[in-house]
Amino acid sequence: MLATKKTKVRIATFSNGERYPFLIDDQGIPLWYPTLFTTVRFRNVSMASNTILSVLSSIRVLMAWAQLNDVDLEARFLNKRFLSQQEVESLCTYLQTKSSDLELQKNNVVRVTRRLEGSRATLLAANPRVSHPTQYIRTSYVANYLEWLAIHLIERQFEQVDRDAKLLIDRMVEGIRMRRPLKSRSSVSTKKGLTKEQRAGLLELIDQLSDKNPFTVRLRRRNQIIVLLLYHLGLRGGELLALRISDFDFQRHELLVARRPDNPNDPRPNQPVVKTVDRRLALSTSLSDLVADYIMQDRNKIKGAKKHDFLLITHQAGPFEGQPLSIKGLAKVFTAIGSAMSNQIDSLTPHLLRHTANDLFSELMDQKNTQGSEEYRMATEEKIRSYLMGWKEGSGTAATYTKRFTENKAMEVSLEMQNKMWKGINV
């Protein structure tokens, strides 16, 4: 049976707080095979709901392609007719495209024709592409789903998959996987935060008294807190949105970043969560006081805010007033800031501020090493960074940032050597 024209991903919240995404049709009914696939392969092995959400979003693109190309996957696989090379190429091209509703106009769709390259060029020219990491994830999940669906349907019908069918399935799946964009093998890290000039511009912009501030007066303190917590503490966006008032110790100027997955008291279907380990972080007196002022002077005046203790809330009047700020709400804040700084920053995201916090940490550690502080040697530096950023010690993530800073310092030393040699100074 062909996929319905309008499929959507919806997140259900169970009574125990578990979030479970479903791919539903235009009648609101979960689609059987995508639901079975994610349940068996992901939920039953305790994968995060955000992972399942990503899987279903990828399958949704697959089903949109099948609908537009009149490909009935279930009927085809039951008859042991799998995707041809042209269909695989068409599908992989479609997976690269970016659209808000994933329902591209038919005249822009890559159809399976003899002139596939021309159709492919037309689609990619008419529609922007998603990033390479998104392409890689989409294509991987689609390949896994098609492999599972083909084997599942044939085993249900014939009890086992014969050798010829298995070879054809493997050929189809490998054809899809080989079209994934290559992962960068460069040892040079591309994770870079804001420059010193961009940092200064951002901090000036979000100052509550700044004439450049793009927000209304009632939102300025909240949005300043958002930026400063990310900028100074290197929090993830989900960690920021999960913060509660009770997580702050205003006497000791400390903050607890705690994991609370599947929280039944969080009204947000797509619950923001702490991804890795709990940690307690120190707050400067200024930042601690700013958060306290927001709670007492701004947050307490918002209708519905006292029904929960999540720190950041929606201020806009309407059905969501006073509710915890959503992931989409946070994105809107950064869109507004990015627009106001479009001449300085190409794209501003919460994660870019996390990279910036790591850069600031590296710079401070460099100063301490220069001053001869033995306790801040490289091994200790990685342990401190891992704790602050919420990484498991020994995971290797901290080493990535340490290596990048080392590369930058090496470039500075190289330039200094070159300049001295150019001036005839013997070094």
pLDDT in tens, 138-155: 999 999 999 999 999 999
Mean predicted confidence (pLDDT) in 287-302: 96
Q: Give the integer Cα–Cα distance in Å for 273 and 278.
A: 11
229 SS3 class: helix
Average pLDDT score, the chain:
84
User: Is the pLDDT confidence value at 326 over 50?
Assistant: yes
User: Is the pLDDT confidence value at 32 over 70?
Assistant: yes
| Token pair belonging to 172 | 């189809």
pLDDT in tens, 74-103: 999 999 999 999 999 999 999 998 754 444
Least confident of 63-67, 125-129, 238-242, 261-265: 125-129
Q: What is the pTM assigned to this prediction? A: 0.67
Residue type, 236: R
The pLDDT of residue 372: 56
219-252 residues labelled b (16+ CB within 10 A) or e (exposed): bbbbbbbbbbbbbbbbbbbbbbbbbbeebbeeee
- Which is more confident, 9 or 99? 9
What is the full DSSP assignment across 107-172?
GGS----TTHHHHHHHHHHHSPBPPHHHHHHHHHHHHHHHHHHHHHHHHHHHSS--HHHHHHHHHH
> What number of CA atoms fall less than 13 Å from residue 157's CA on the CB side?
15
Least confident of 158-162, 273-277, 297-301: 273-277
pLDDT in tens, 327-385: 999 999 999 999 999 989 888 999 999 999 888 888 887 777 666 555 555 557 777 77
**In the structure, what pLDDT confidence band is assigned to residue 229 with cuts at 50, 70 and 90?**
very high
pLDDT in tens, 191-211: 678 999 999 999 999 999 999
User: Is the pLDDT confidence value at 2 over 50?
Assistant: no
